[in-house]
Amino acid sequence: MISGGPAAMQLGRVRASLLDFYITESDELIVEAVSGSSLREEHVEILVDWARTVGYERIWLPDQVVDIEADPAIVGVAKVNCRTCGARWEDSSTDFWLKVRDNGFFPASCPACGDSLPEMTVEAEQARLTH
């Protein structure tokens, strides 16, 4: 990490948490703060909501374990714009959500250009996944 100079002063104003995620064999999510970072309290709810959306039922945070009530009915339209090629992607199909929940994350790369995608945003709608 940057420890001195103007860059360090700018970094000190960043209100982000740098985290590593690990998925266990039992499909639980382990979250570790990257050295020099910490999980900010205001990010816990966002992280737990994301974990529920992509299908985790337990998340191990640095200072607590959260059991997430599974709710397969909460899905919606997931959207993202590729910052590299400008393509807009959205999907709300059952197949899409089943794949997201099987993987434990949203698609990471753009199907058009292959570059990495920002995290998808979800506009909630009530729908039913059929297993």
116 binds Zn ion (CB under 5 A): no
Instruction: Show the CA angle centred on residue 48, arms to residues 24 and 100, nearest 5°.
Output: 60
DSSP class of residue 85 equals T
110 binds Zn ion (CB under 5 A): yes
Residues in contact with 41: Cβ distance below 8 Å, sequence separation at least 6, in sequence order: none
The secondary structure of 24-88 as a DSSP string is -TTS-EEEEEPTT----HHHHHHHHHHHHHTT-SEEEETTEEEEPPP-TTEEEEEEEE-TTT--E
* Stretch near Zn ion under the rule CB under 5 A, chosen from 35-43, 59-67, 84-92, 95-103: 84-92
CB of 120 to Zn ion, least distance (A): 13
CB of 107 to Zn ion, least distance (A): 11
* Stretch near Zn ion under the rule CB under 5 A, chosen from 14-22, 37-45, 98-106, 112-120: 112-120
Of the candidate residues 11, 30, 48, 113, the single one contacting Zn ion (CB under 5 A): 113
Determine if residue 101 is left, alpha or beta; phi over 0 gives left, psi from -120 to 50 gives alpha, anything else beta.
Answer: alpha
Of the candidate residues 112, 116, 119, 123, the single one contacting Zn ion (CB under 5 A): 112
CB of 91 to Zn ion, least distance (A): 15
Residues touching Zn ion: how many (CB under 5 A)?
7
Q: Which residues bind Zn ion (CB under 5 A)?
A: 82, 84-85, 87, 110, 112-113
